[in-house]
Amino acid sequence: MTQLEAARQGIITKEMETAARDEGVPAEYIRQGVAEGTIVIPANIYHKSLHPYAIGKGLRTKMNVNLGISEDVCNYETEQVKAKLAWEMKAEAIMDLSCYGETAPFREWLVKNSPAAIGTVPMYDVKGVLHKGLKDMTADDLFSVVERHAKDGVDFMTIHAGLNRETAKHIMRNKRITNLVSRGGSILFAWMYMHGKENPFYEQFDRLLELLRKYDVTLSLGDGCRSGSGHDSTDAIQISELINLGELVLRARRAGVQVMVEGPGHMPISDVRMNVEVAKKLTHGAPLYVLGPIVTDVAPGYDHITAAIGGALSASCGADFLCYVTPAEHLRLPDVDDVHEGIVASKIACHAADLAKGVKGAALWDEKMSWARRKVDFKEMIPLAIDPAKARRYRESSKPEDEFTCTMCGSMCPMKTLDEILNNRNPEDDPFEKK
């Protein structure tokens, strides 16, 4: 049975127990959330190296790392380095977005070695698997790629099932600046346009659910109509798809399939809270997975920052799962350094949101750092940093004479000044008391 079916029968699985220990909450809390559909644990029955993580209501904000090859950059050795970096930096999920050639060996390597949940977008892989153009692909062909990924042990899949013919009409009628920026969504739209048919994943949704249930693959309902620019945020196209996604969430739950929903892309800060609240309302509290959101369109090279701003705000408002964005977003395939920068930015966003949400234990980390700073103890501070290696490089690049200060303030360090006064004062002597 799936995690959802077990939870509904009152069974606490070993995956629920592991997730509960990680979160510092009772296993019953996880079970109840999974049963309600407000928590998911992506865990394919064939992913044996998995450390299961729970995503959803009341839990730490989780992070996904995208990687994979393209037609222009196809070095799987580099992608393996990126994956190992993601594991070292405790990313809870990795999505293989490879979209060229034979992808199965790398996907199988990931499943064999990854403690993080593995996700894919099967539509990215249709050309490489089927060796034919979209015009010649049948609905059965598309489903065969989904099943192959499931058999390979993928824990969650992005399927753009909410992009139906009615939503496609909205796309034709409502002109955007950036049209569809979802790669998977645009491929499906093109297939529907070429064939003059309904989206097979919407039309045959029960078939999709039966396939996913067999392997306990978590369905990540993709936002094929997400906005690709601030101008296009929260329009009729996006909302039309979101209404469909809410209906599909209920059908997935009834079928015993765990389900989460992917959220919008680019939007101004003023739209973030409203988008999160509307998405949560229309999709019945399903875990919300967001890319960014990217809060301004003019920062190529720095979109890990624009996304971290949007991610922190959206997660503080109720989003549960952040997809990292690297500095290379909109420019090229990220290299290893880009991946590192993207992970750090996303980890900052996740933790900032957890502080705002009052997630259990989140503030303790900050308090430990604050006490170390009060003591001006860099040997204690640096290991507490999100990126200790970078903190150490900065510290060692400019050392002061006094080990218990830094080259910013030196002898004028406010921590040392106040500690010297307050620790050595006579409690009975208060110079601020009127005499």
SS3 (DSSP) at 319: coil
**CB count, 10 Å around CB of 247?**
14
Whether residue 119 contacts residue 107, with contact meaning beta carbons closer than 8 Å, is answered with no
Phi, then psi, of 150 in degrees rounded to 5: -65, -45
- Asked if residue 351 belongs to a known ligand binding site, the reply is no
- Asked if residue 182 belongs to a known ligand binding site, the reply is yes
- Asked if residue 266 belongs to a known ligand binding site, the reply is yes
- Asked if residue 66 belongs to a known ligand binding site, the reply is yes
- Asked if residue 76 belongs to a known ligand binding site, the reply is no
Whether residue 146 contacts residue 159, with contact meaning beta carbons closer than 8 Å, is answered with yes
Q: What secondary structure letter does DSSP report for 135? A: G
SS3 content of the chain, % helix, strand, coil (to 5): 50, 10, 40
Distance CA 204, CA 329 (A): 34
- Asked if residue 275 belongs to a known ligand binding site, the reply is no
- Asked if residue 284 belongs to a known ligand binding site, the reply is no
Distance CA 377, CA 93 (A): 34
- Asked if residue 99 belongs to a known ligand binding site, the reply is no
- Asked if residue 350 belongs to a known ligand binding site, the reply is no
- Asked if residue 183 belongs to a known ligand binding site, the reply is yes
- Asked if residue 225 belongs to a known ligand binding site, the reply is yes
- Asked if residue 262 belongs to a known ligand binding site, the reply is yes
- Asked if residue 330 belongs to a known ligand binding site, the reply is yes
| HEC letters along 242-270 | HHHHHHHHHHHHHCCCCEEEECCCECCHH
**Between β-strands 218-221 and 93-96, what pairing exists: parallel, antiparallel or unpaired?**
unpaired
Whether residue 41 contacts residue 27, with contact meaning beta carbons closer than 8 Å, is answered with no
- Asked if residue 137 belongs to a known ligand binding site, the reply is no
Residues of each annotated binding site: 66, 95, 124, 160, 182-184, 223-226, 262, 266, 289, 330, 406, 409, 413
Residues of each annotated binding site for substrate: 66, 95, 124, 160, 182-184, 223-226, 262, 289
Residues of each annotated binding site for Zn(2+): 266, 330
Residues of each annotated binding site for [4Fe-4S] cluster: 406, 409, 413
